[in-house]
């Protein structure tokens, strides 16, 4: 395999003909064939590719589900059950889609925390990181609207609670809620527009993913030691090295995902959503899907409605400015002895928030969620700016090759 | 109007917690083992068939199962003739060639007939509570199979409750009313059931020892009837469960082999690098 940067010599005449006029084969060759990739990736670097596979899985299963689904309040619930019972392999499609959403979020959360640990958001990758946060926001919107589609009790009441949040915003709040609802409450127009947007947004995500990947190919990948490759000895061509490594990671991840699809398909679900939506009966406990729980906890931790809404959105918005909040020059936590600890504290904090979000806001959950919320913001707004100034990083290796081949690997 | 809705929904969401706490906890569900449990469990079709008989004789008068058609009963092992006979036993509404409303005997392709014309009629006949559709009941409750099994056996004489039970019951009342001195009291038209959240259910005890006689001579005490019934309801909640598990075994084996191969390829490719 040559790793020259020039246009490859294609032998197939058709490929040659096309490539002269539209160099897609040259493009693929450069960006995925010989693309110089740091040689020291660990498996945490596979989660970008895994997220991509999940996005494609969601789109494919979603499109086929949409062929059998009816977006109307009187038929939506039954049409989903018809998919489960009467459509050939409909149960499989639906379970793939439902659990796919959870595993898509698992992959993306790991991908994000990978970035946090190894400082992948720092110069020159700020835009790359910001595009990633945009993807996260779009995913959350998509998943939220998707969850409304089966029109179960949680679909309806979740939609009611979450859309109502926007009414807390001054001036623009009420018009936004009216636009979301298409009427005076969550009803058929809401379901219709959510279905339309649920179909649209994944393709917007694809668009942003293209930008995200393009930005990555400009800046190059970060790597576990966070120093830039200095020459060919520090990199490997993407193919075959990372094609095989990511390929194995994808299969291993899908194995776990499929184990849930086939043997615990309702594990991430709420039993209450197998009850058809009923606007006269409020479920005893309205909870969002698990991937929203930390944000839900932040929302409820603030005793004021507007404050809660702002804090919830702030929890994501703060990620946009993270590249400028973290003042440390060294990227990888491997060489940041103190940051390393704060990173793990943040992970624990997010789990604590998730736990609070899953439980009723009473008893000790109230102080716990408040402390966890404060800590979440303190991590980004206080700890990171200060830490960068006072922490003394460990000495960096001279090159990637040295750190990989010269023994002493942490 | 929207302000009210807005406020209402939020308040509900925030108050939701305590209500749940009031519903859960308390009495532990009865334990039993169902054949369909576990990653490889399958339905016991003899039990499913008996359970259908229990449903038909003891529950169908109040509870619909509108996601099922009579033809689905072929899947639990009933013969074509038996399914036809079961369907023909009920009269369903239809419209004849001239557009007039008529009643005709059911066909296998008809959905299970619902006992009430609509929700209002169902409420009116049941002390204001409407009997939920049972097609998905096992999936629609936490630990659904064991829950319905326990619910059927949870009717009890309140006077016989032990002091410890009383304390739990009073706990419900305190949570529900927010009054620290409240004690548990039954509302009219409600029945005491230790497994129903809040312990007061509008449904009178629907099933008792010996209520249904099985042709195959299986014993018919309450635990057995309840267990068979739950087998049927579990099948109704997910008729494709066996197909799912069978496919799953093949898929997982395939994926394991693929993962092994991928790992071997990766090792080979990387052998010269580090
Ligand atoms: C970013 C990718 C996507 C995510 C995260 C996502 C997420 C979800 C979620 C959480 C549900 C609720 C499932 C349930 O509880 O039953 C759902 C339902 C649904 N989605 Fe998606 N989805 C995605 C892409 C798509 C696409 C591209 C389509 C097709 C055009 C689609 C079509 C549907 C349909 C028809 C339903 C209703 C059927 C059902 O509830 O099972 N989805 N989606």
pLDDT at B8 over 80: no
pLDDT recorded at residue B255: 98
Chain B residues with CB inside 8 Å of A241's CB?
269-270, 273
B111 secondary structure, DSSP code: B
Residues B231 and B50: their CA atoms lie apart, in Å, by 9
Answer yes or no: is A385 within a domain: no
Is the domain of A55 the same as that of A148? yes
Answer yes or no: is A50 within a domain: yes
Taking an 8 Å cut-off on Cβ atoms, the answer to whether A360 and B21 are in contact is: yes
Mutation target for B interface from A96, A175, A186, A244: give the one with most B CBs within 10 A. Answer: A244
pLDDT in tens, A254-269: 999 999 999 999 999 9
Residues recorded for chain B: 274
Total domains in chain A come to 2
- Ligand 1 in contact with A51 (CB < 6 A)? no
Chain A residues with CB inside 8 Å of B133's CB?
276
pLDDT at B72 over 80: yes
Answer yes or no: is A399 within a domain: no
pLDDT recorded at residue B186: 84
Is the domain of A215 the same as that of A260? yes
B79 secondary structure, DSSP code: -
Is the domain of A104 the same as that of A83? yes
Give kind and range of the element (H or E) at residue B91. Answer: strand B91-95
Question: Of B6, B244, B266, which is closest to A244 when you measure between CB atoms?
Answer: B266
CB atoms within 10 A of CB A16: 12
pLDDT recorded at residue A284: 86
pLDDT recorded at residue A288: 95
Q: Tell which residue, A322, A334, A304, has the closest CA to residue A379.
A: A322
pLDDT in tens, A107-130: 999 999 999 999 999 999 999 999
How far away is chain A from the Cα of B37, in angstroms, using its nearest Cα? 10
Question: Which residue carries 């990739």 as its tokens?
Answer: A37
In A48-199, DSSP assigns E strands to: none
Q: Which residue has the higher pLDDT, A221 or B157?
A: A221
Give the confidence band of A1 by pLDDT, cuts at 50, 70, 90: very low
User: Would you name the residues of A annotated as active-site residues?
Assistant: 217, 221, 245-246, 289
pLDDT recorded at residue A135: 98
Is the domain of A109 the same as that of A11? no
pLDDT at B3 over 70: no
Is the domain of A15 the same as that of A95? no
Residue ID of nearest Cα to ligand 1 atom 28: A62
How far away is chain B from the Cα of A385, in angstroms, using its nearest Cα? 35
pLDDT recorded at residue A6: 59
Average pLDDT over chain A, rounded to an integer:
95
User: Taking a C-beta distance cutoff of 8 angstroms, is the pair A125, A226 a contact?
Assistant: no
pLDDT recorded at residue B272: 85
pLDDT recorded at residue B178: 81
CATH number for the domain harbouring residue A247: 1.20.810.10
Residues B210 and A51: their CA atoms lie apart, in Å, by 56
pLDDT recorded at residue B7: 37
Say yes or no: B161 contacts chain A, CB-CB below 8 A: no
Chain A residues with CB inside 8 Å of B270's CB?
241, 244-245
Taking an 8 Å cut-off on Cβ atoms, the answer to whether B139 and A271 are in contact is: yes
Is the domain of A2 the same as that of A138? no
Residue B46 burial (C-beta neighbours within 10 Å; 0-12, 13-18, 19+): middle
pLDDT at A56 over 50: yes
Q: Which residue has the higher pLDDT, B175 or A85?
A: A85
Picking from A227, A249, A278, the residue at the C-terminal end of a domain is A278
What are the structure tokens assigned to B211, written together?
Answer: 């209520």
How far away is chain A from the Cα of B6, in angstroms, using its nearest Cα? 6
Give the confidence band of B15 by pLDDT, cuts at 50, 70, 90: very low
Taking an 8 Å cut-off on Cβ atoms, the answer to whether B2 and A39 are in contact is: no
pLDDT at B23 over 80: no
Give the confidence band of A410 by pLDDT, cuts at 50, 70, 90: very low
Is the domain of A8 the same as that of A147? no
pLDDT at A204 over 90: yes
- Ligand 1 in contact with A245 (CB < 6 A)? no
- Ligand 1 in contact with A181 (CB < 6 A)? no
pLDDT recorded at residue A187: 97
- Region A400-410: mean pLDDT is 69
Q: What are phi and psi of B41, to 5 degrees?
A: -60, 145
Average pLDDT over chain B, rounded to an integer:
88
Q: How many angstroms is it from B38 CA to the middle of ligand 1?
A: 27
pLDDT at B1 over 70: no
Residue ID of nearest Cα to ligand 1 atom 39: A150
Give the confidence band of B14 by pLDDT, cuts at 50, 70, 90: very low
pLDDT recorded at residue A62: 98
Provide CB contacts within 8 A for A20, sequence distance 6+: none
User: Taking a C-beta distance cutoff of 8 angstroms, is the pair A105, A288 a contact?
Assistant: no
Domain of residue A130, residue span = 43-278
pLDDT recorded at residue A310: 97
- Ligand 1 in contact with A198 (CB < 6 A)? yes
Q: Which residue has the higher pLDDT, B15 or B75?
A: B75
Q: How many angstroms is it from A54 CA to the middle of ligand 1?
A: 12
Give the predicted TM-score (pTM) of the model.
0.92
Plot region of A31 (φ>0 → left; ψ -120 to 50 → alpha; else → beta): alpha
What's the CA angle centered on A172, arms A166 and A174, to 5 degrees?
Answer: 60
Residues B146 and B136: their CA atoms lie apart, in Å, by 14
Is the domain of A21 the same as that of A151? no
pLDDT in tens, A38-50: 999 999 999 999 9
Give the confidence band of B9 by pLDDT, cuts at 50, 70, 90: very low
- Ligand 1 in contact with A100 (CB < 6 A)? no
Q: How many angstroms is it from A62 CA to the middle of ligand 1?
A: 5
User: Taking a C-beta distance cutoff of 8 angstroms, is the pair A292, A268 a contact?
Assistant: no
Residue whose CB lies within 8 A of the most ligand 1 atoms, among A76, A78, A99, A146, for a mutation test:
A146
pLDDT in tens, A288-316: 999 999 999 999 999 999 999 999 999 99
Residue whose CB lies within 8 A of the most ligand 1 atoms, among A149, A206, A272, A291, for a mutation test:
A149
pLDDT at B6 over 60: no
Q: Which of residues 139-168 of A touch B (CB under 8 A)?
A: 157, 160-161, 164, 167
Provide CB contacts within 8 A for A300, sequence distance 6+: A308, A356, A357, A361, A369, B14
pLDDT in tens, A378-391: 999 999 999 999 99
How far lies B117's CA from each of A199, A374, A402, B130, B132, in Å? 36, 54, 79, 12, 14
Of the ranges B113-117, B165-169, B187-191, B239-243, which one carries the lowest mean pLDDT score?
Answer: B165-169
Q: Which of residues 47-76 of B touch A (CB under 8 A)?
A: 67, 72
Answer yes or no: is A333 within a domain: no
Is the domain of A120 the same as that of A248? yes
Give the confidence band of A213 by pLDDT, cuts at 50, 70, 90: very high
What letters, b where the CB count within 10 A reaches 16 and e where it falls short, cover B19-44?
bbbbbeebbebbeeebebeeeeeebb
Is the domain of A118 the same as that of A30? no
Of the ranges A19-33, B130-144, B244-258, which one carries the lowest mean pLDDT score?
Answer: A19-33
Of the ranges A102-111, B82-91, B183-192, B252-261, which one carries the lowest mean pLDDT score?
Answer: B183-192
Question: Which residue carries 């309040």 as its tokens?
Answer: A73
Give the confidence band of A3 by pLDDT, cuts at 50, 70, 90: very low
What is the C-alpha end-to-end distance of chain B, expressed in Å? 69
Answer yes or no: is A389 within a domain: no
Is the domain of A207 the same as that of A251? yes
- Region B202-217: mean pLDDT is 95
Q: Percentage of residues in chain B with pLDDT exceeding 70?
A: 90
Taking an 8 Å cut-off on Cβ atoms, the answer to whether A244 and B12 are in contact is: no
Residues A94 and A147: their CA atoms lie apart, in Å, by 12
Q: Percentage of residues in chain A with pLDDT exceeding 70?
A: 97
Mutation target for B interface from A274, A358, A359, A366: give the one with most B CBs within 10 A. Answer: A274
Residues B193 and B217: their CA atoms lie apart, in Å, by 29
Picking from A278, A296, A325, the residue at the C-terminal end of a domain is A278
Residue B93 burial (C-beta neighbours within 10 Å; 0-12, 13-18, 19+): exposed
Answer yes or no: is A85 within a domain: yes
Answer yes or no: is A346 within a domain: no
- Region A234-246: mean pLDDT is 95
Q: Which of residues 109-138 of B touch A (CB under 8 A)?
A: 132-133, 135-136
> Cα dihedral angle (A285, A289, A290, A295), rounded to 10 degrees?
-90
Answer yes or no: is A115 within a domain: yes
Residues recorded for chain A: 410
Is the domain of A91 the same as that of A234? yes
């Amino acid at each position: 395999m040559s790793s020259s940067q020039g246009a490859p010599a294609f032998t197939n005449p058709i490929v040659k003909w096309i490539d002269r006029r539209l160099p897609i084969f040259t493009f693929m060759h450069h960006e995925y064939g010989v693309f110089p990739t740091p040689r020291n990736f660990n498996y945490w670097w596979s989660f970008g590719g895994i997220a991509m596979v999940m996005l494609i899985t969601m789109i494919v299963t979603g499109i086929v589900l949409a062929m059998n689904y009816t977006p109307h309040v009187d038929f939506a619930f039954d049409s989903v059950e018809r998919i489960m019972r009467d459509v050939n392999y409909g149960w499989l499609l639906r379970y793939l889609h439902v659990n796919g959403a959870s595993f898509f979020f698992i992959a993306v959360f790991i991908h994000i925390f990978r970035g946090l640990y190894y400082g992948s958001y720092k110069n020159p990758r700020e835009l790359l990181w910001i595009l990633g946060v945009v993807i996260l926001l779009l995913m959350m919107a998509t998943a939220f609207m998707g969850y409304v589609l089966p029109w179960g009790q949680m679909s309806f009441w979740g939609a009611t609670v979450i859309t109502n949040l926007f009414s807390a915003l001054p001036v623009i709040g009420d018009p936004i809620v009216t636009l979301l609802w298409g009427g005076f409450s969550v009803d058929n127009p809401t379901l219709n527009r959510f279905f339309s947007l649920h179909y649209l947004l994944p393709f917007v995500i694809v668009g942003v993913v293209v930008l995200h990947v393009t930005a990555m190919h400009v800046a190059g990948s970060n790597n576990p030691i966070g120093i830039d490759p200095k020459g060919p000895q520090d990199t490997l061509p993407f193919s075959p090295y990372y094609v095989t490594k990511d390929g194995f990671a994808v299969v291993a991840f899908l194995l776990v995902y499929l184990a849930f699809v086939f043997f615990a398909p309702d594990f991430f679900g709420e039993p209450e959503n197998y009850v058809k939506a009923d606007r006269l009966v409020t479920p005893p406990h309205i909870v969002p899907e698990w991937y929203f729980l930390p944000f839900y906890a932040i929302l409820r931790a603030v005793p004021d409605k507007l404050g809660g809404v702002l804090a919830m959105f702030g929890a994501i918005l703060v990620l946009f400015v993270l590249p400028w909040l973290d003042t440390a020059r060294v990227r990888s936590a491997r060489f940041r002895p103190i940051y390393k600890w704060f990173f793990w504290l943040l992970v624990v904090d997010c789990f604590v928030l998730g736990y609070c979000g899953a439980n009723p806001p009473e008893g000790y959950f109230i102080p716990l969620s408040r402390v966890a919320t404060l800590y979440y913001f303190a991590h980004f707004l206080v700890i990171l700016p200060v830490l960068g100034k006072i922490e003394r990083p460990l000495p960096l290796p001279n090159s990637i090759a040295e750190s990989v081949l010269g023994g002493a690997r942490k | 109007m929207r302000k009210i809705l807005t406020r209402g929904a939020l308040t509900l969401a925030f108050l939701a917690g305590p209500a749940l706490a009031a519903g859960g906890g308390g009495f532990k569900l009865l334990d039993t083992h169902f054949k369909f449990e576990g990653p490889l469990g399958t339905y016991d079709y003899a039990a499913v068939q008996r359970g259908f008989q229990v449903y038909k004789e003891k529950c169908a008068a109040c509870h619909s199962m509108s996601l099922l058609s009579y033809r689905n009963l072929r899947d639990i092992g009933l013969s074509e003739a038996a399914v036809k006979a079961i369907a023909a036993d009920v009269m369903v509404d239809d419209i004849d060639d001239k557009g007039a409303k008529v009643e005709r005997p059911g066909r296998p392709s008809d959905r299970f007939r619902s006992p009430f014309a609509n929700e209002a009629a169902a409420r009116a006949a049941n002390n204001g509570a409407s009997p939920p559709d049972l097609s998905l009941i096992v999936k629609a409750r936490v630990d659904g199979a064991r829950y319905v099994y326990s619910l059927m056996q949870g009717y009890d004489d309140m006077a016989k409750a032990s002091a410890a039970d009383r304390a739990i019951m009073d706990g419900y009342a305190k949570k529900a009313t927010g009054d620290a001195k409240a004690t548990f009291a039954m509302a009219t038209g409600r029945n005491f059931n230790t497994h129903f959240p809040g312990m007061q259910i509008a449904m009178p005890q629907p099933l008792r020892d010996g209520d249904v006689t099985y042709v195959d001579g299986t014993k018919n005490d309450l635990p057995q009837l309840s267990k068979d019934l739950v087998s049927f309801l579990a099948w109704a909640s997910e008729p494709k469960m066996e197909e799912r598990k069978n496919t799953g075994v093949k898929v997982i084996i395939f994926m394991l082999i693929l993962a092994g191969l991928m790992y071997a390829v990766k090792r080979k490719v990387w052998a010269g690098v580090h």
